[in-house]
Structure 1
Amino acid sequence: MNKKYLVLPAVLVVAAAVVAAVELWPSPLKELRAQNLCLGMLTEKTAGLLYDGQGGRLTVDEYESGERGADPVFSTICFVNRAPEGGAADRLQYTVDARPTNTLNAPVKGATRLAEGRSGWVGPRQSEVQLPAGCPQEMKADAEYVTVTLKVAPGVVVAENWDDAALARASRTVVLEAADNLAEQYDCGA
């Protein structure tokens, strides 16, 4: 048999092995997305912090919009819900999403700016935190910033008896964990 006919199959086998190794090799992105909720942004414990007090099992829906980007994290909104007993419709607790942007939103009324080298603000009903400066490039985003936005559902606000301080504390924990886990996935933390 002529050896020149064996070169192409050998190259194809090596290429297939390299592709399989890259796909199966563990990475922070794959590990966090496998063990956490909302594309790896939230642990189940933290996801349950903002709660309308009406019972039900925690559920998460990752709704992928029609937008297609370099990464599904930019085209997915995570809806954190409570599923009541008896098959009634899920109740929205809050949403979390990450977006590339070139301009930052002004803080909402009643929001507190983050300190300790963090960029963003936390409010009782909405919060925005920017990922560290190196993240847009690591995430292949064509923007200056990547912002994680948290929007709290009205039912949670009512359950907390409009206690803005309690809502802001829980919101801070949720949005910072989401930002920190995204930075860890893409190895772009400060």
Structure 2
Amino acid sequence: MNKKNLVLPAVLVVAAAVVAAIQLWPSPLKDLRAKNLCLGMLTKETAGLLDDHKGGKLVVDEDKGEDAEADPVFSTICFVGRETSKDTTPRTQYTLDARPADTLNEPAKDAAPVGGGHSGWIGPRQSEVQLPASCAKPMGASAPHVTVTLKVAQGVLVKEDWDTAALISKSRTILLEGVGNLTEQYDCTT
């Protein structure tokens, strides 16, 4: 057999092996997404912090949008809910999502600064925290910043008796874990 005819198949085999190794190689992004909820942002314990106390199993629905991006982080809204055997659909406790942003939205009147060196605010109903500026590029953001937004469902607010301090504390824990895990996934810590 002519050696010239073996070069192309050999190159193709090597290229396929490299692609397979890259796909199978462990990475923080793959590891966190495999073991955590909400595209790797939350552990199960933290995901269950905001609760309407009506019982039920914790369920997470990562509603992937129709954006054809290879990485679904910007086209997915994570719905965290509870369901029991008598529920026809899970009761939403809150939503969590990440979006490219030019700036943060104005904070709610009863919001507190997120603190800990992060830009953003935590409110009893909605909260927003910006990831470090170094995250936008590795995440493929179309804007200079990436904002993680948490929206708390009405049932949780009522069950917490609108206790702003308790809601802000639990929301802060959820958001800071989400931000920390995203910065680890994309290796863009401050």
| Pairwise TM-score range, normalised by the shorter structure | over 0.9
Match of 2:130 in 1: 130
Structure 1: which 5+ runs fail to align?
A: none
Aligned 8 A contact 1:70 1:141 in 2: no
Aligned equivalents of 2:24, 2:122: Cα separation in 1: 38
d(CA) in 1 for partners of 2:121 and 2:38?
21
**Distance in 1 separating the partners of 2:112 and 2:41:** 22
Provide, for residues 51-78 of structure 1, a one-character-per-residue CA deviation record: whole Å limited to 9, x for no partner.
Answer: 0000000000011122334520000000
TM-score (normalizing by structure 2): 0.97
Q: What SS is found at the alignment partner of 1:134?
A: helix
Q: How many residue pairs end up in the alignment?
A: 190
Q: Kindly state the Cα deviation for residue 82 of structure 1 after the two structures are TM-superposed.
A: 0.1
The alignment yields a C-alpha RMSD, in angstroms, of: 1.0
Residue 83 of structure 2: aligned partner:
83
Q: Spell out the pairing of 1:17-28 with structure 2 (5 A cutoff).
A: 17-28=17-28
* Unaligned residue ranges in structure 2 (runs of 5+): none
Aligned residue for 1:81, secondary structure, equals: strand
Q: Deviations over 1:129-177 (max 9, x none)?
A: 0001100011111211100000000000011011111011000000111
Give yes or no for contact 2:47–2:80 (8 Å, CA) kept in 1: yes
What is the correspondence of 1:5-154 to structure 2 with a 5 Å cutoff? Answer: 5-69=5-69, 71-154=71-154
2:38·2:78 contact (CA, 8 Å) conserved in 1?
yes
Q: CA deviation at 1:87?
A: 4.4
Distance 1:73 1:38 in 2: 9
Structure 1 vs Structure 2: percent identity of aligned residues?
65
TM-score, with structure 1 as normaliser: 0.97
Aligned residue identity for 1:133 = A
Q: Is 1:186 aligned to 2:183, yes or no?
A: no
